[in-house]
Amino acid sequence: MASGFFLLVLLALSASRPLASDPGQLQDFCVADRTSQVFVNGFACKDPKTALVVDFFFSGLHMAGNTSNKQGSSVTAVNVAQIAGLNTLGISLARVDYAPHGQNPPHIHPRASEILTVLEGSLYVGFVTSNPENELFSKVLNKGDVFVFRQGLIHFQFNYGTSKAIAIAALSSKNPGVITIANTVFGSNPSISDDILTKAFQVDKKMVDHIQAQF
């Protein structure tokens, strides 16, 4: 009898697990208090009575980002760092600008899935599944097309056209985070040992040193 009771409790707990990336709402809003000394998973709430309209507002997505860089792309993020009122809501946005032949290089979002909509131009996009299959799912997107990248999977976008491209990405976290694979592996501080990288990538030390120098 007791074992049956505990089984029901475990089932209830497993069924009640939150499905969203961020906590559910217990009040109208929880504007992030970036000055709080309280350490929580995210940001503490400031007093709702002190909330201002600016806490729920951002202006700038109409402006193109600077794509004059090695990757030929620019990401304009709109997350809890830009809009304090996004705290606990589990959503954020980003505008991505691509120069001709520019790319948003292979990366992951550790805390969010992403849905990308092309506003202008064409993009070759894709993601790779986890080990051991490592299957590539890729497609060319045109204006108005939408593509989904699951949380934690390596994905990319490449503008193969001769004109600029623009996309808007919606993400399922107030703070999705980003880990760019090349920067992380070859630009870590301190550097990952050459012995590890040469064995992992099956190249010699000279090649590893050359790649690390780019970051």
pLDDT profile of the chain (215 residues), mean per 10: 51 48 73 89 92 97 97 98 95 98 98 98 98 98 98 97 97 97 96 96 95 93
The pLDDT value recorded for residue 39 is 83
Instruction: Determine the pLDDT at residue 23.
Output: 57
End-to-end CA distance of the chain: 62
Bin 19: left if φ > 0, else alpha if -120 < ψ < 50, else beta.
Answer: alpha
pTM here?
A: 0.85
109 is in an annotated binding site: yes
Residues 6+ apart with CB under 8 A from 122: 140, 141, 142, 143, 159, 160, 161, 165
> Which domains can be identified in the chain, with CATH numbers?
18-177 (2.60.120.10), 179-214 (no CATH)
* Single-letter code of the amino acid located at 51: A
Sign of CA dihedral 119, 125, 131, 135: positive
Pair of tokens at residue 54: 């600016």
Does the annotation flag 62 for ligand binding?
no
Q: Is 114 annotated as a binding residue?
A: yes
Peptide bond into 132 cis (omega under 30): yes
